[in-house]
């Protein structure tokens, strides 16, 4: 995704009573959510490092079974939750 600050608007959404960071991409007319925030909400996990480790484990597992559920997007720059 190309960096055009005027095309991206950071926002906070709620999922299972937890904050989920998101970016609106005007160019593609899409909203991109933080996978880590969603995983933390689903697993009711408060530890950011454990959430990152779990996401890393899931990606590795998906690659082993040749699943392409995860797109090849780079990490988006979102404001840290702390």
Mean per-residue pLDDT for 58-82? 70
Residues 6+ apart with CB under 8 A from 59: 70
Q: What is the pLDDT of residue 54?
A: 92
- Name the band, by pLDDT with cuts 50, 70 and 90, for residue 64: confident
Give pLDDT tens digits for 15-60.
778 888 888 888 889 888 888 999 999 988 889 999 999 998 988 8
The domains of the chain are located at 9-65
Q: What is the pLDDT of residue 68?
A: 67
């Amino acid at each position: 995704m190309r960096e055009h600050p005027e095309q991206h608007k950071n926002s906070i959404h709620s999922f299972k009573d937890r904050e989920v960071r998101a970016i609106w991409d005007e160019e593609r007319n899409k909203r991109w959510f933080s996978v880590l925030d969603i995983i933390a909400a689903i697993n009711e996990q408060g530890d950011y490092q454990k959430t990152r480790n779990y996401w890393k484990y899931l990606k590795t597992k998906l690659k082993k079974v040749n699943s392409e559920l995860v797109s090849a997007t780079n990490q988006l720059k979102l404001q840290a939750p702390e």
